[in-house]
Amino acid sequence: MHDNRLITEARLDRFVAEFLSPALYRRVSALDVSAFEVDGEPIPAAAAIGAEYHAIALPHRWGRPWSTVWFRGSGFVPAEWFDTSGSLPDGTRIELVVDLGFFGDRPGFQAEGLGYLPDGTILKAVSPRASYLPWQGAAGSPIDVYVEAAANPDVAGEYDFLPTPFGTRETAPDAPLYTMRAFSVALLDETVWELTRDVWTLDGLMRELSADNPRRHHILRALERMMDIADPHDIAGTAAAARAEIADVLTSPAHPSSHDIVAIGHAHIDSAWLWPFRETIRKCARTFSNVVALMDEHPEFRFACSSAQQLKWVKDFYPELFARIKAKVVTGQFVPVGGMWVEPDINMPGGEAMARQFVTGKRFFLEEFGVDTLEVWVPDTFGYSAALPQIIAASGSKWFVTQKISWNQTNQMPHHTFLWEGIDGTRILTHFPSADTYISELSGAELAHAERSFREVGGSSVSLIPFGWGDGGGGPTREMIAAAARVRSLEGSPKVEIDTPQAFFERVEREYPNPPVWSGELYLELHRGSLTSQHRTKQGNRRSEHLLREAELWAATAAWREGAEYPYDDLERSWHDVLLNQFHDVLPGCSIAWVYQDVQRMYAEIEATAERIVAGSLEALAGTGDRVLSVNARPQAAGDVPALGIAAAEPAEGTPTVRTRGEDLVLDNGLVRVVVDRRGLVTSLIDSASGREAIAPGSAGNLLQLFRDIPNKWDAWDIDEHYRRVGEDLVDVESVRSVVDAEGAAIIVVRAFGTSRLVETMRLRAGSAALDLDFEIDWQETRHLLKLAFPFAVHADRSAAETQFGHVFRPTHVNTSWDAARFEISAHRWIHVAEPGYGVAIANESTYGHDVGRVTREDGGTTTTVRLSLLRAPVFPDPDADLGHHHLRVSVRPGAGIREAVDEGYRMNLPLRTVDGARDVAPLVRVSHPAVRIESIKLAEDRSGDLIVRLYESEGARAVADVEIDQAGSVGFVDLLEREIESPAGATMTAAGVRITLRPFQLLTLRVKQAARVSKEAPQDT
């Protein structure tokens, strides 16, 4: 037999494009169209529907970037489409077709619309892959429908990562972006539509089968016969016969050992990215209206929704749609998952902030839907902290799903289903969908890839696949649901069943009782620049986390001690904004400029709210007086001021000095001595306790380095390894001078480089064992990376970097490709390098990106260099990212262990406050063991007045600690959602609180009832 396979496949391509797809609608009749252009920001539907519209003719140019136009389609259902009995032809139905000027076929990155009835009821969205609106009506009945059309620009374009003017309304051009081409009533031929789905499924499967597989040829010949039967001039009349010709190959069942796939509808909606938050609100309405409309037609359809914030937006702005969603939750079709407020970045949020993602998210799902989410769902975040398994377990969840790790540049993860072990030993069942996508359309290529790449073969037989258009929203389509039905059992394809994530994980637990274990962080070998881009946002995040810590601490203390009113609503609103801004395209710094304008406004509001709460609480606690008091929100003492307490502070011993030694300047406070040369570099750093030199011989610390930073792609996201090969040391200075003032002794260095300018202050304070560095930078570079380097005379085989509720160790060598790929790492407030008996800690108040490496010197010794990534300058998607003024602070503490590193991290981020008051304030909670840190003190979420105390072991060692709580009547252990759990082993109640034994890095939450309330609630003898 001659091989005409390629000829037949080419014939099929043309048949589908030119004859089959255009035959979907038998009849089309244009509606009368009118328009109302919104001036400024979007307005509610009620106001828009009642506005004055003007008639337009199609095609019609519309849509200045980021503008909104409401289109009204009006007319009548054509009577001639019906027979004399008033019925439509068999196998047809009426739809409205809207073409806003779509280009390509990807929704979410161009014009989008939402259809409404005149009474404000939402129909569904219109987009390139779902450009229809449902309609029912008798012959000659009126049609009146509205479409809110968003003229969103395609900011991404071809992902050339060039500067774009579309990132704000102010910079975007005025010319209309779109041409509306159709607003019509149409008669859909359902048989033709079913034929298109049959052909799409078989064609996709066929092209994934090998040329020597008989199944491929059976499908091809069936499709060839189908094309012979289907008359291009009468598709409608021959579609049924054409379907019958391919029925056999479409119903041939899958092999019993075929891979199983659980498919779940999904719509990854970035809460902000190449569009602002306000547009995401509308994307949610468009996507979720599509979803519930599909659920009405397809009872088997299931859809997973992960973000409480997005559902809260729908509740606030689209209450009628939210009610429909709640009804679908009851039927089991709309499935809340994820359990967090947003799908956040996982590396950078602090421990308490990550806990609050679960507290707020899971509480929302419980209160609104009665659902306790068990799956943590973050498919698109940029790497995964090793602390997350414990936090997941502490929230009451037990499964984890993600996808992004498949983007690794160098190394492939060896598992798709495994137990992920965190820093404290907690293990969470984890799954990476082997389809390597979270926006599947259930194509033959995607399903074949899922089966081929699945790495648990022989152990497990099932993987998960989320299907539905995403990133910009859109979600599943009726075509995807049709695809799922056809591949439920289809020879040559994996078996696919629509179900829930819970059903998937329960099956995995049954059939795969001993999955492999991955211990430690899940490092994404990509998007390393996201630890540094948009520094102001990262600084705002860090500052907001600590301001809210202080506000809750002092407000809870004032409520517990003085009966002050606790500001629940203000704190909740502020936390919601912090958590929203931790979204995985916002905090990492890869959104458009408009997003960061909103972010900075939110951070300013959070700061104002927190400062107001702190001021009011401190006044209630310390009273009014003329005593100068120091306020310490840290979990460790600050001189004479106890941890979490308020007291008058005695001046620290020792007077910092600065003197000249030749061309050098020497800072000394009796604890640390620093030598700075004429270049403004630190050539010596010695702590008096050890007398040991921290700076490597022949090297200089405090070295600023400027690197060319042009990644291969993903401009704001990536730092590529080749940046290291083109850079310069910034050693030229304009001036170096010294000063002694009330804060201590300091050396001030001024540098200019490129078009930027920098003023650095190196300061030793009385009683401080650390050198403080303060940078004021006018940053005007583009496509450059600024790093701060410290070469230490330390033989460190690993570095320790703070993460949520603990720290992670990473090797300083590059023995393996996994080690080499980890050339930029995340750290929270501190990073530490050490050899046995000696170490150095570097702390910061707003920096996350670091790198650590070591070399062997000519003298045989080892130099371990720690570098902090201070600023970047990407040009896409925000061409002005990071330009302007920045203030950064860093500290370096020689002779430090892990405990001192933890201390420095808290010191840098929780500076002492000074207030005038009448009295000291003793700590509300005391902990006897210095490694056990109190991370949060607040009142309970249920507003009962109970006290919540969250603490953790910070040094990676077992610790026994007494926790004393003022006025404690009873103490219990709770999960993150403040629900009672079993007391940990070894916990015993004491007269003042509880004695606990914590394993390394263990996180615990206590719930305390006040003694006075316990006595009132106790039963009385009669």
C-alpha 29/C-alpha 77 separation (Å) is 9
Report phi then psi at 741, rounded to 5: -140, -165
C-alpha 1004/C-alpha 961 separation (Å) is 12
Asked if 224 and 15 count as a contact pair (C-beta separation under 8 A), the reply is no
Is the peptide bond preceding residue 877 cis, with omega within 30 degrees of 0? yes
Q: Please give the span between the terminal C-alpha atoms of the chain, in angstroms, as a whole number.
A: 101
C-alpha 843/C-alpha 860 separation (Å) is 29
Tokens matching residue 901: 């590193």
Asked if 543 and 603 count as a contact pair (C-beta separation under 8 A), the reply is yes
Report phi then psi at 121, rounded to 5: -70, 135
Asked if 388 and 351 count as a contact pair (C-beta separation under 8 A), the reply is no
Asked if 399 and 818 count as a contact pair (C-beta separation under 8 A), the reply is no
Give the largest CA-CA distance in the chain: 108
C-alpha 839/C-alpha 807 separation (Å) is 15
Strands 54-56, 142-150: pairing is unpaired
Classified as helix, coil or strand, 431 is: strand
Asked if 740 and 658 count as a contact pair (C-beta separation under 8 A), the reply is yes
Q: How many residues does the chain have?
A: 1022
Q: Which residues contact 325 (CB under 8 A, 6 or more apart)?
A: 288, 292, 311, 314, 334
Q: How far is CA 586 from CA 171, 825, 904, in A?
A: 20, 19, 28
C-alpha 685/C-alpha 673 separation (Å) is 6
- 380 in active site: yes
528 DSSP assignment: G
Asked if 146 and 113 count as a contact pair (C-beta separation under 8 A), the reply is no
Q: How far is CA 945 from CA 396, 812, 954, 1004, 1013, in A?
A: 23, 48, 28, 19, 9
Angle at 667 between CA 664 and CA 668, to 5 degrees: 135
Of residues 154, 203, 345, 380, which has the active-site annotation? Answer: 380
What percentage of the chain's residues is helix, strand, coil (to nearest 5)? Answer: 30, 30, 40
| Residue 402 CB coordination number (10 Å) | 24
| Residue 28 CB coordination number (10 Å) | 12
Which active-site residues does the annotation give? 380
